[in-house]
Amino acid sequence: MLVTAFGFSQGESTNAQENDTTVFKQSYGLRVGVDLSRPLVGILEDNYTGLEFVGDYRLTQKLYLAGELGNEKKTIGVGLGSEINSVEGELYNFTASGSYLKLGIDYNTYGNWYGEQNMIYVGGRYAFSAFSQTLNNYKIFDTNRYWNPDDFAIGSSPNQEFSGLTASWLDFVVGIKAEMLK
């Protein structure tokens, strides 16, 4: 006698109690700010003024589209000898002034704890600048100082401006961004 029996059973596990979890939703969007080092350098250094606005837009968990927009003006004097810091020791003096725009990406290498929005990042930027330079004054350096042994030959104070200049470059960026206020 041969008896064959088959049994099939399907069942759903029923969990009478749901898991009590809180899901933290990462914020995506635009972040803007001001680089505070530019005004601070302007306070500490007489011949410098500058301001930079920064911003980024979060694309993924770790990738950000970043941009910087700024304006700077700096007067520089170059000289020889022991009187470099004085006007008498300067070979030439010029002022550079312009604006720039930097666009690129940042990659966040930091794994934030629950609820944090901090960054330790690496990135790159393509930068473009439009600027002008003004030659304030210059002196002629002469190795044969027979007629004027104690000073450079007097040049002129032309205040000649070279405007409409442009430049572009690439930046490699490493930095930290920490959330100070919520």
Q: How many helices (H) and strands (E) does the chain have?
A: 1, 7
- Percent of all residues in the chain with a pLDDT value above 90, rounded to a whole number: 46
More confident residue, 14 or 165: 165
Provide the pLDDT for residue 89: 64
How far is Cα 120 from Cα 60, in angstroms, rounded to an integer? 15
| pLDDT of res. 6 | 54
Residue 36 has pLDDT above 60, yes or no: yes
pLDDT at residue 181, as a whole number? 74
Q: Which amino acid is residue 160, in one-letter code?
A: Q
Bridge partners of 128? 101, 168
Q: Using pLDDT thresholds of 50, 70 and 90, give the confidence band for residue 145.
A: low
pLDDT at residue 1, as a whole number: 47
For residue 163, with 0-12 CB atoms within 10 Å meaning exposed, 13-18 middle and 19 or more buried, which class applies?
A: exposed
Summarize the confidence of residues 100-104 as an average pLDDT. Answer: 98
Which position has the higher pLDDT, 77 or 124? 124
Listed by start position, the domains of the chain span 30-177
Q: Which two tokens stand for residue 29?
A: 């969007």
